[in-house]
Structure 1
């Protein structure tokens, strides 16, 4: 079963004036429906592990967000659904346990999709009436960005669910292939040196006047000390990681953080998630495919990324180092848009301008930085303040977006975060090192 190709995302509008909010909202909401189109009702019900959620739940939860926080109308949410589709907003009331979302056979997928249409129509009528106050408009903009986050989660979660099936079914059979690049060697230096400096990172607080959209955890923009270091020109590829595996990387305790080594032993990890034991293939959203040695390695936990960096005689970059390097890069890459393979691919062209390659798209890149508050951080007011700040414990920062991220959803200051054991996301790494 296949679906139409998703169209290139409509750029985010200016929330200060409303801009093209209506068009943007409709475009993003429609894309979620297209992403779910290849899935049967049975597929959409699957929850393969506690960290993942069923596709049906993603479709319902994002709808709940608009009904609860934008429409703010109790009649917009059917009886009982408020509890089922609240995620972690304690201020919004009771919540169904996250690990048991897969047992929710009712409401049906058809009922959830009908509810989406109803809520979309209500929001569009509200916008057409031109009676939306600024606070509600800002919540709507936040909700659309929230929907884009769940579009990526829908893809990563269904990939894990399908991989768990012994039949290894494909999400889509019509995904374009990212053909291996034989001559992907870049004549530029492998390492880019950076002198000690004071740099500015982060984003101005949104929705202050003149500030583009950014989540509260990206704010405020502030100065930071950047130590002298070097950062790798390119992300680590499959060939390099395969050498780590072949060299006994998963059998060498001295390379691993203590918690990581315990996890490797307990779970029996021997290779990245989705790598086949034959050493040649990996599971993708198009099913089992030959592994491109030059494509960025992905589906690594922070523990695996950190162990590889030690094996390579390097380390992971801090998020300050990563953002300083990304600031000089064009915000473009292999994202989840038109004719996208929904899988990392090797660089199509060589770059000789001294800028790092592949900073955006393909894979999220682990940093060594704990996810915490910037100096002067203030969460959003009210229940929406639970969106990011409450998770600033036990998480590590990832940067750059992935091949499953909607185009236009990331920026140099974007701070993704996951616990160090997580590896079902499209997460990889780039190396850094200190000057000798």
Structure 2
């Protein structure tokens, strides 16, 4: 492949990924862009600005001589958690930012995209910058999934339950009964291997010893989870971690997120609005506490992330982020990169659990079976589900 074609391909990929973020936001009203109902949900406007800030801060400023920032104050507004880069608006206050306006954020995106196109086709675009550019594009795709997740929370907590889109979403369905797939004890290898992009937390392919285990061929369905609820699962402390039981009582949790008992039936808020629960669809928006309690009720457990990765070639995955029973910790020989990029994953390796797979909100081409997602045990606003093991 010639350098000209490579640059053309890189520019095309950059513009397509950047354009997809704006396509996600196209159905929104202006008022939707600014809402932050809880600390974990960022306003859509902030996502659009933050992903733009990433390219401006990490690629254009240090590598494009003469580049003029769009607005010097935006570093304070759109920095997320990079201590190396400086002070920033605290996360809880992102929804208080009526300015910059939505139109100004779109102007910011247009300005940076135009400068990036010039940069990518200039002599300053070196091969050494490509890994950072690839990280920026994958970072944008992560925020595309967060955009959909946060938009669903914003609209799903509006008492009018407004639909995000009238285009029918393909709701994942499960047919037939789950089979338990059996794997013999032995030494296996996990971690990223081969060509292409991965995050630093996937690196350090290494051997693990696994005892004999079985893992379900399918995810837990709404119907199965409803059985747990009707059997008193939320009122039986025996199935819960102590911390999870406290969480249930303090927050009066009785169902997955977005479930509403209306007119003697369970309704579920989807991106198409409020709908009746589909019993054959995989259960979604479940915390680790709930996933673990359900597994206990079924006299099973959640798989470890090593078990999940080893078995993943033998079942379909990708409709839900699947909770594992593994704490989010570094792989052997994990090393944080120098500078701000080193803050990307390593600093979060405490008090979180690993999720594997992908979800219906994950952008196309942004999933692989070595991907290590991670969240705190109480969070359920992501598209999370359950796969059982024993």
Task: State yes or no: 1:155 paired with 2:148.
Answer: yes
Q: Which residue of 1 aligns with 2:119?
A: 126
The 3 A distance-change label for structure 1 pair 239 and 319 is: same
- Say which of 392, 400, 421 aligns to 2:378: 421
Conserved in 1, the CA contact under 8 Å of 2:169 and 2:271? Answer: no
Distance in 1 between residues matched to 2:124 and 2:74, nearest whole Å:
27
Residue 179 and residue 52 in structure 1: after superposition, are their counterparts in 2 closer, same or farther (change >3 A)? closer
Q: Is the 8 A contact 2:172 2:282 kept in 1?
A: no
Corresponding residue for residue 305 of structure 1: 291
Per the alignment, residue 107 of structure 2 pairs with 114
Q: Does the CA contact (< 8 Å) of 2:70 and 2:111 recur in 1?
A: no
SS in structure 2 at match of 1:315: coil
Gap change, CA 1:386 and 1:242, over 3 Å in 2:
same
Aligned partner of 1:332 in structure 2 is: none
Query: Match of 2:340?
Result: 383
Distance 2:250 2:358 in 1: 30
Match of 2:266 in 1: 280
More displaced stretch, 66-75 vs 234-243: 66-75
Instruction: Confirm or deny that 1:372 pairs with 2:363.
Output: no
- Give structure 1 regions of 4+ aligned residues with deviation exceeding 4 angstroms: none
Hey, what does 1:265 align to over in structure 2? 249
Asked if 1:146 corresponds to 2:146, the answer is no
1:277-300 CA distance string (max 9 Å, x none)? 134320011110122111110100
Moved more, 151-160 or 126-135: 126-135
Name the CA shift for 1:179/1:101 in 2 (closer, same or farther; >3 Å). Answer: closer
Does structure 1 retain, via aligned residues, the 8 Å contact 2:7–2:120? Answer: no
Q: Distance in 2 between matches of 1:18 and 1:316?
A: 45
1:403 maps to what in 2? 360
Would the alpha carbon gap of residues 179 and 217 (structure 1) be closer, same or farther in structure 2, given more than 3 Å must change?
Answer: closer
Q: Which residue number in structure 2 is paired with residue 331 of structure 1?
A: none
On the 8 A contact 1:315/1:432 being kept in 2, the answer is yes
Shift of 1:176: 3.7
Equivalenced residue count is 380
Deviates more, 1:52-61 or 1:217-226: 217-226
Q: For 1:223-234, what aligned pairs fall within 5 Å after superposition? A: 223-234=207-218
2:198 aligned to 214, 223, 239, which one? 214
Contact 1:371 1:395 in 2 (8 A): yes
Counterpart of 1:185? 176
Cα offset for 1:226? Answer: 1.8
* Residue of 150, 153, 173 corresponding to 2:166: 173
Work out which of the residue numbers 280, 284, 290 in structure 1 matches 2:276. Answer: 290
Indicate yes or no: 2:369 matched with 1:412: yes
Q: Which residue matches 1:255?
A: 239
5+ long unaligned stretches in structure 2? none
Contact 1:217 1:379 (8 Å CA) reproduced: no
- Whether 1:55 and 2:44 are equivalent positions in the alignment is yes
CA distance in structure 1 between the aligned counterparts of 2:323 and 2:8, rounded to whole angstroms: 35
Give the distance between the partners of 2:173 and 2:210, measured in 1 at CA.
36
- Distance change >3 Å, CA 19–CA 141, structure 1 → 2: farther
Give the deviation of 1:35 after TM superposition: 0.4
- State the match for 1:352 in structure 2: none
| Counterpart selection for 1:29 from 12, 18, 22 | 18
Q: TM-score with structure 1 length normalisation?
A: 0.84
Q: Secondary structure at the match of 2:360?
A: coil
Structure-2 residue corresponding to 1:137: 130
C-alpha distance in 2 between matches for 1:130 and 1:211: 26
SS of the residue corresponding to residue 411 of structure 1 reads coil
What is the match of residue 200 of structure 1? 189
Segments of 5+ residues of structure 1 without an aligned counterpart are 1-13, 205-209, 329-354
> Offset at 1:19?
7.8
Structure ranking higher in helix proportion: 2
Instruction: Rate the CA distance shift 1:179–1:388 in 2: closer, same or farther, 3 A.
Output: closer
Deviation per CA, 1:346-367: give whole Å up to 9, x if none: xxxxxxxxx32x32x2110000
Residues 234 and 25 of structure 1, relative CA distance in 2, 3 Å threshold: same
- Let me know the Cα RMSD of the aligned residues: 1.7
Give the C-alpha shift of residue 170 in structure 1. Answer: 1.0
Displacement, 1:177? 5.2
Instruction: Return the offset for 1:179.
Output: 8.7
Tell me the CA shift for residue 20 of structure 1.
2.1
| Distance in 1 separating the partners of 2:173 and 2:328 | 35
SS at match of 1:314: coil
Structure 1 residue 77: deviation in Å?
3.8
Structure 1 residue 131 displacement after superposition: 3.1
Alpha-carbon distance in structure 2 between the residues aligned to 1:413 and 1:119: 32
Q: Cα distance, 1:400 vs. partner?
A: 0.4
